[in-house]
Amino acid sequence: MRVIVGCEESQEVCKAFRELEYEAYSCDTQPCSGGHPEWHIQGNILNYVGMNEYNDLQGWDLGIFHPPCTRLCNSGVMWLEKRNLWKDMRDSAFFFNALLLSPLIDKVVVENPIPHKYALEIIGRKYDQIIQPWQFGHGETKATCLWLKGLPKLKPTNIVEGREQRLHRLPPSKDRAKLRSKTFSGIAKAMAEQWGSLTLNQDSKNEVKKRD
């Protein structure tokens, strides 16, 4: 099974799938910081999930995408009017949809914080699920929305005490955005275990049907 994790330089999700021996690659315009450049594609994710000349880097069974959320999330809606960021917002929403509706991948998940109504109008539908780090072994809060295509909802694996907003209180720094966007390891592991096995099982069933 081949997995592409788009807009991920940390490689947290990519490595979770690799630990279970799936063929997974991260993809981002930035170099990876996860320590495995051999599993990283540096470039625009849209070049690798659509119909174009990069055919040797396609054929994905599962796509997991983390598009930029700055212009789409509800917490930043006030700046759209104040800074005239409407075009940036629309471009971000169209990018989001290009990933969610990728015609060459049957199983897709796109994650983002809770969006504002203007973004939802362009995206066209509400998210399928909201997850929290404390459902997956981390005593923290960070509401994360999942839009799903061809996949079931992610099941909590380890509900723990603690509701700390650690990431929200990070001091300003050049790496603050990267730290805030990094997927929690417990969530990455759940994705690999639940969605990886689901896709692999479906592939096995399809192979049996072909032989019959």
Per-residue pLDDT tens over the stretch 18-65: 999 999 999 999 999 999 999 999 999 999 987 555 555 568 999 999
**How many Cβ atoms are within 10 Å of 168's Cβ, its own excluded?**
11
* 181 in a structural domain: yes
Q: Name the residue with higher pLDDT: 164 or 155.
A: 155
Asked whether 86 and 80 are in contact (CB, 8 A), the reply is: yes
User: pTM value?
Assistant: 0.86
* 207 in a structural domain: no
* 210 in a structural domain: no
Model pLDDT for residues 159-170, shown as the tens digit of each residue: 998 777 765 554
The helix/strand/coil state of 210 is: helix
Structural domain containing residue 172 = 2-199
* Residue owning tokens 């689901």: 198
* Residue owning tokens 């700055």: 70
Length of the chain: 212
CATH of the domain at 30: 3.40.50.150
Query: What is the total count of domains within the chain?
Result: 1
List of E strands, 10-100: 23-28, 40-42, 62-65
